[in-house]
Amino acid sequence: MKPYLREKTAFSFDEVPENTSFEAGYLVSVNSGWRSIRPVIDAAKCIGCEQCYLYCPDGVISVRDGKAEIDYDFCKGCGICAKICKIGAIRMEAERG
Amino acid sequence: MSKRFLSGNEAFAEGIRLAKPDVISAYPITPQTIVVERLSEMVEDGSLQSEFIHVESEHSALSCAIGASAAGARAFTATSSQGLLYMAECLYYASGGRFPIVMMNADRSTALPWNIYGDQRDSLSQLDSGWIQAYAENAQESLDLALMSYRIAEHPDVSTPFMVNLDGFVLTHTYETVEIPESEQAARFLPAYETENRVDFENPKNLAFSAGPDHNYIFKYKAHRGLLAAADVIAETEREFAEIFGRKYSGLIEQYRTEDADLILITLGSIAGLCRESADRMRMQGIRAGVIRIRYMRPFPNAEIAEALRNAKAFAVLEKDISFGNEGTVFTNVNSALQKAGLNIPGQNYIGGLGGRNISAGNIEAIFRGLVSGAPRVSFIGIGGDGSGE
C-alpha cells in the first residue's frame, strides 16, 4: 500500500484521533524537505525488476506498468536505489532551490 | 467467596487470575518476583489461560505488553525499582499509544547505594509518564485494585495504562487473610476488552504513529484529558465493585478522623495503618489528629485534598521519597492543590523509610508533635531539618 497525502492538512481538535491509530497509509505532511539529491528513473532503461522497490528503506518506490516510480513527497534521497540498480536506470541529481 | 492467607504479591496474582489477561510478559526482580512466579504457576496448572512470555529485560517486558495491547489483547506486566527505570522509555509509548496495560510495581529503593528494600522513589519518579498510579495499603486492596485497574484503564473515556504500587516487602511479602471473589462475580464486573486501537487485518491501520509540531500537542492534551477522566471512572467502578463484592473504597483519597482534625498527616501506601493508630493515640492526649491516605497519585486528588484540609491548622506529608534539591514530590503536589484552592495552611514534609528504613510509631507521633511546635519545613526522619543533621 502506498502512503497518500490528504489535501486537507489543518485539523480541528475533534478530527485528531483519540489515540495513535488511524486508517493505514494516511500521512498529513510532505516529509522530504531536507533531500539534497533525488533519484531519477530512466523509464527507457528500467526493466521493472523491483530491486529498488525491495531495497528502498522508506517504501516510496512502486512499480506501475513494469516501470519503477518514486514518491517524491516521502523520498529522503538516500541513493540506495541508484546503488542497487544493476542496469543503471537510476541516477542521483542535485535538488535545486 | 473464599478466604486465604496470602502475601501482597500473592493476593495481586489472585486478582490478575480473575482479570484473565490474554498476555503476561514479565522479568523477575525483587521484591516483585513472587507475583510473576504465582502467575506462571497458574498458567502451568491451567487455572489461568494466558500466554506467558518470558522476556530478557524489563524494557522488553513492557514492549511486549504494548505489542499485545496493540493486538487488542489484555496485557499484564510487573516490575520494581531499577526494572521500572529500565522500562521508563516504554512507559511513555504505552501511555502515548493509550494502551490500557496494567502493571504491578513493587515499590523499592533506587540505586546507588544499591538496596532491595522498599521506598517509593521508583514509582514517584515516573509520575509524569502518563500512567494512572494507585498505591495499595494492604493485601486485600492489592487484589481488589488488580481487578478494578483493568476496568478503569480500559474504559473508553480513559484508555490509559495503570500502575498499581505495593510497598516492597512490607506489603509484597507480608501475609494477611484475603477474601477472593468467585470468577463468575469477576466476569460480571470486568467485561472483555474491546477496542478500535488495535491491529485489524480487515480494516488496516497505522498504529503508534508519529505526529509533528502541528498535531503532537493535541495528542498530549487528549492523553491528559483521559487521565483526568479516570477520576470519575474510578468512583463509578468502586460503586459497582461494592455492589458486586461488598467492599467499599473511597476514591482518590481515604480519610480518617479528618472532619474535626486540627493536625492532618498525609501519606500513602502501607504506612497509613500505623499513622491512623498514632492519630488515635494523639487524640487520647487531647490533640485532634487525622490522617489522609492518598490512594491515587495520578490523577492527583487536588480538590479532595484541599477540601479535607480546609479547616485544619497544619498538615504534614510523610513520604518515602525525596526529589533531590527540592523536597518530597508528594509534598510539592499537596502544596499545589492547596494553592489552587486558595488555602494557606502551614505544612511540613517528613522524608522517611528510604531504603526500607523502619518508620516507627514514635516517629509518627513526633511528626504530630512537630506540627504543634513548628518544626523545619523539610525533615529527614533520623537526621533532622533539611537533611543538615541539625
Q: What does the alpha-carbon distance between residue B366 and residue B347 come to, in Å, rounded to a whole number?
A: 15
Q: Which of A1, A8, A16, A21 to mutate to test the interface with B (most CBs of B within 10 A)?
A: A21
Tell me what ipTM this predicted complex has.
0.77
Handedness of CA B313, B273, B249, B232 (dihedral sign): positive
Q: In chain B, whose CA is at the least distance from the CA of A23?
A: B205
Average pLDDT over residues B327-353: 97
Residue B287 · residue B262 · CB < 8 Å: yes
- Residue-level pLDDT at B389: 40
The answer to which of A35-44, B180-189, B203-212, B251-260 has the lowest mean pLDDT is B203-212
- Listed in order, strand segments (DSSP E) in chain B are 2-7, 23-26, 51-54, 75-80, 102-107, 132-135, 162-167, 175-180, 205-207, 253-256, 263-267, 289-294, 296-298, 314-319, 347-351, 378-380, 384-385
pLDDT (average), residues B5-19: 98
Residue B144 scores a pLDDT above 60: yes
Alpha-helical runs (H) found in B246-284:
272-284
Identify the structural domains of chain B with CATH numbers, from first to last.
Answer: 2-245 (3.40.50.970), 253-385 (3.40.50.920)
Instruction: Identify the residue among A1, A19, A34, A58 best suited for mutation to test binding to B, counting B beta carbons within 10 A and taking the highest.
Output: A19
- Grid coordinates representing B310? 480546609
User: Residues B17-72: pLDDT tens digits?
Assistant: 999 999 999 999 999 999 999 999 999 999 999 999 999 999 999 999 999 999 99
**Whole-number average pLDDT of chain A:** 88
Q: Which pLDDT belongs to residue A30?
A: 79
Grid coordinates in use for B337?
492543590
Instruction: Answer yes or no: do B206 and A23 touch at CB < 8 A.
Output: yes
Using CB atoms, which residue from B97, B214, B226 is nearest to A20?
A: B97
Crossing angle between the packed helical segments B272-284 and B361-373, to the nearest 10 degrees: 60
- Cα B166 to Cα B10, B79, B266: the distances in Å are 12, 11, 17
Contact B378, B387 (CB under 8 A): yes
List the single residue in B197, B206, B214 with the smallest CB-CB distance to A24.
Answer: B206
Instruction: Provide the 3-class DSSP secondary structure of residue B240.
Output: helix
User: B293 falls in which pLDDT band (50, 70, 90)?
Assistant: very high
A4–B contact, CB cutoff 8 A: no
Residues of B in contact with A28 (CB under 8 A): 211-212, 214-215
Instruction: Give the residue from chain A lying closest to B95, CA to CA.
Output: A19
Chain B residue with CA closest to A26: the answer is B206
pLDDT tens string B94-139: 999 999 999 999 999 999 999 999 999 999 999 999 999 999 999 9
Residue B388: per-residue pLDDT = 44
Comparing A62-66, B7-11, B268-272, B331-335, the range with the smallest average pLDDT is A62-66
A19/B contact by beta carbon, under 8 A: yes
Residues B337, B300: contact at Cβ < 8 Å? yes
- Cβ–Cβ of B214/A19 closer than 8 Å? no
Which residues form the domain of A50? 4-94
Within its chain, how far is the Cα of B105 from the centroid?
8
Q: pLDDT of A8-26, one tens digit each?
A: 666 788 888 889 988 877 7
pLDDT digits (tens, 9 = 90+) for B172-209: 999 999 999 999 999 999 999 999 999 999 988 889 98
Q: With an 8 Å Cβ cutoff, are B206 and A26 in contact?
A: yes
Query: pTM, whole model, 2 decimals?
Result: 0.92
The CATH number that applies at residue A13 is: 3.30.70.20
- Total domains present in chain A: 1
> Would you give the DSSP letter of residue B286?
T
Of the candidates A16, A19, A22, which has its C-beta nearest B159's C-beta? A19
Q: Residues near B36 by Cβ (< 8 Å), separated by ≥ 6?
A: B24, B26, B27, B28, B78
Binary contact (B212, A28; C-beta < 8 A):
yes
Residue among B99, B126, B65, B55 at smallest CA distance from B208: B99
Pick from B97, B212, B215: which is nearest to A19 by CB? Answer: B97
User: Of B187, B190, B103, which is closest to residue B151 (Cα–Cα)?
Assistant: B190
pLDDT at residue B390, rounded to an integer: 39
In chain B, which residues have their Cβ closer than 8 Å to the Cβ of A26?
A: 206
